[in-house]
Structure 1
Amino acid sequence: MFGKTIVIVNYHYIRAEQCDNGIHAISIEGFSKQLDLIAGEGYQFISLEDLHRAICRKNMDFLSHKACLVTFDDGLKESYVHGVDVLDRKGIPAVFYIVTDPIVEQKVLPVHKFHYARKMMSDDEIWGFITEKFDLPGTAVAEDVLMEQYPWDSPSSARLKYLLNFQLAQEQQVRVVNYLFQMAYPNDESAYANDLYMDQDQIIDLAQRGYLGTHSQQHKVLSILSEDAIRNDLKNSMDVIFSLTGKRVSSVSYPYGGYTAVTENIGKICRDLGMISGVTMFRGINTINDIMYRNMMLKRVDMNDMLGGKSEKVYKELAYGV
């Protein structure tokens, strides 16, 4: 790949030990080693401020030939407790994109309820429970569509995720996920939420560092909402962050992030709300053309696809065509 580039790497859960059963977490040691591998590849780690300077100037002259921005989605407490500790020791900046409703409501998002249910039950068990309990839509989805949205999952897991996140009406999604979560976690939901999500002091610290962005208010698939609903969700999240921190955010990570979840119009709405950058889960490495013309649709590389990840060949194909 010729010219200067920016690779944006994405993380979610980070725990003492790696796990892949429903909750896909990188270990603390694995995170540290992956950052070292990225640095060893010749990357200079940059901040959100650096990214926005490149976007606003429409040039990358002040950046090294290969730049890397570290991002975390969802606002999980472990990404602050473990992630910031590792990053600070290495002098690496990052961006943390938070969902605001869990902070305000002290409730667990459906997506994280589902993650926990899959940690405690197999996909076959979940299929059995929900098909017996609920009248589910029978719309078939092409496997290439499923794997585009969920490239790291088996076809059966991708089909289950796609059903819950994209095919069910919101009311039915809530009923199904609540049913599964209550089976897996019969205790107080607010206690789980308190353990799972960042608290206000942690969010304020990130805002003061310039490390904060929004991941929406409710983590819904924005592409299936009306324009007014999209605008309200994002504006509400921005307003909550301002009320908590006194800082305005100017970067968004789109929930789910794939081609079925993000549209050009959503990027335009975010730009109209004052956003400077938007990050997707479109696989790729960003060039000057992305910075100049696609700053609301920037590409990212999942931790699994990056150096040291279980599918690191994806990065090598993107970077070197091999």
Structure 2
Amino acid sequence: MLIIANYHYLREDFSAPFPSIYGVTPAQFENQLKKLSKFGKFISQDELLEKPEKIEADNYFLITFDDGLKEQYELAKPILDKLGIPYIFFINTANFANQEVSLVHKVHLLRSKIAPEKLLGQIENKSLNSEEKKAAIVHYNYDSPENAILKYILNFKFNHIEQENFIEPIFDELFEEANLVKDLYFSDAMLLELAKKNVLGSHSHSHRPLGLLSKSEAEEELRFTQEFFRKRFGTTARSISYPYGSFNACEGITSLVKKAGFQIGFSMERAANESLDTDRLLLSRFDCNDLPGGKNDLFNGKNPFESAPIRKWNSYENSTINK
């Protein structure tokens, strides 16, 4: 069985006027890895692709990181190397090709400076019904209800252009984008080193929810990100982590993802993977906080391989064609 853990931010200090970024400290990260090692072994991207049958014979963890953040390299990688644990870093290629900050990170930064109620007050004609509010709170379960509703509206009720039009003017008043790109994301040297070690994957080109895009838009995202990998590293990416990771953000895209040359894909369905035989392009992952050693351990410190639900989204999605 395979259980995949996903991480984003790693910092010594997460204090901000308005909490908007939730991650782990290096000490918490190392402690969690040691706890997980009591329940299973760790597997690499190369092993998963070349010997997928291994996960049917034993219990494995795969450690993944989304967004290509410099702090992951500087704080997490040394711990992983010290413990001998393999990993995959997923990058949004527009950060490096266009020297731009992802819209999702602009949202995080704005939310750290401005109260969610104030931002919600500036949004017109985009309210949620009761079912959508429940879905928002479930999906963003580590956020306050106000932040969850704000994030749901921005990510799922706004289209990309509407989101940009709302966020960009506010962001530009408070931040300098060129400096942030250098501070937030991997350097060129880091990218090259990680590519040589076969531990880089794609998080799409510009961090847009692929399942909510038109077919042509999704194809463009996949083409751009693979072109970046090919030009920069001489080979295409083998793995992709779907931005946002919700069912809707992953729905109906696996045929396009396969056509683009990806061999494995990762959602954020909170579940374990019994096998890679049925569908390698919709592997499930747990947020790191859901696992033993996390802030909201769903398993109460017990062996997650004994009680984790088994992924189902791959059977629902059934490799349908993107709309």
Within-5 A mapping of 1:137-176: 137-140=126-129, 142=131, 143-176=133-166
> Hey, what does 1:282 align to over in structure 2?
269
- 8 Å CA contact 1:250, 1:276 repeated in 2: yes
> Hey, what does 1:254 align to over in structure 2?
242
SS at match of 1:125: helix
| Aligned-partner residue type, residue 166 of structure 2 | V
| Aligned-partner residue type, residue 146 of structure 1 | A
> Hey, what does 2:54 align to over in structure 1?
60
- 8 Å CA contact 1:149, 1:260 repeated in 2: no
SS at match of 1:71: strand
- Between Structure 1 and Structure 2, the one with more strand by share is 1
Q: Map Cα deviations across residues 94-138 of structure 1 (whole Å, 9 max, x no partner).
A: 00010011112212111001101111222123223x24xxx3323
Q: Map Cα deviations across residues 139-197 of structure 1 (whole Å, 9 max, x no partner).
A: 526133223432322332211101111111322210211133234x34x2110111101
Within-5 A mapping of 1:37-56: 37-41=35-39, 43-55=40-52
Structure 1 residue 225 corresponds to structure 2 residue 218 = no
The structure-2 alpha-carbon separation of the partners of 1:228 and 1:178, relative to structure 1 and needing over 3 Å to count, comes to: same
The structure-2 alpha-carbon separation of the partners of 1:18 and 1:40, relative to structure 1 and needing over 3 Å to count, comes to: farther
SS at match of 1:33: helix
The alpha-carbon deviation at position 279 of structure 1 amounts to 0.5
SS at match of 1:69: strand
Q: Name stretches of at least 5 consecutive residues in structure 2 with no aligned partner.
A: 309-323
CA distance in 2, matches of 1:70, 1:236: 26
Q: Map Cα deviations across residues 251-281 of structure 1 (whole Å, 9 max, x no partner).
A: 1000000112111x31121112221100000
SS at match of 2:89: strand
The alpha-carbon deviation at position 30 of structure 1 amounts to 0.9
SS at match of 1:96: strand
RMSD across aligned positions (CA): 2.0
- 8 Å CA contact 1:217, 1:234 repeated in 2: yes
CA distance in 2, matches of 1:16, 1:308: 17
SS at match of 2:32: helix
CA distance in 2, matches of 1:119, 1:178: 15
- 8 Å CA contact 1:22, 1:119 repeated in 2: yes
Q: 1:292 aligns with which of 268, 277, 297?
A: 277
Q: Name stretches of at least 5 consecutive residues in structure 1 with no aligned partner.
A: none
The structure-2 alpha-carbon separation of the partners of 1:19 and 1:268, relative to structure 1 and needing over 3 Å to count, comes to: farther
The alpha-carbon deviation at position 71 of structure 1 amounts to 0.3
Q: 2:119 aligns with which of 113, 118, 126?
A: 126
CA distance in 2, matches of 1:33, 1:297: 29
TM-score when normalising by structure 1: 0.88
Structure 1 residue 204 corresponds to structure 2 residue 219 = no
The alpha-carbon deviation at position 40 of structure 1 amounts to 2.0
CA distance in 1, matches of 2:255, 2:144: 33
CA distance in 2, matches of 1:266, 1:141: 28
The structure-2 alpha-carbon separation of the partners of 1:242 and 1:39, relative to structure 1 and needing over 3 Å to count, comes to: same
- 8 Å CA contact 1:80, 1:198 repeated in 2: yes
> Hey, what does 1:178 align to over in structure 2?
168
- 8 Å CA contact 1:203, 1:245 repeated in 2: no
The structure-2 alpha-carbon separation of the partners of 1:64 and 1:35, relative to structure 1 and needing over 3 Å to count, comes to: farther
The structure-2 alpha-carbon separation of the partners of 1:64 and 1:292, relative to structure 1 and needing over 3 Å to count, comes to: closer
The alpha-carbon deviation at position 282 of structure 1 amounts to 0.4
Q: Map Cα deviations across residues 277-308 of structure 1 (whole Å, 9 max, x no partner).
A: 000000011102xx110211101010110111
Number of aligned residues: 304
Q: 2:4 aligns with which of 5, 8, 11?
A: 8
| Aligned-partner residue type, residue 31 of structure 2 | K
Q: 2:225 aligns with which of 237, 240, 245?
A: 237
TM-score when normalising by structure 2: 0.88
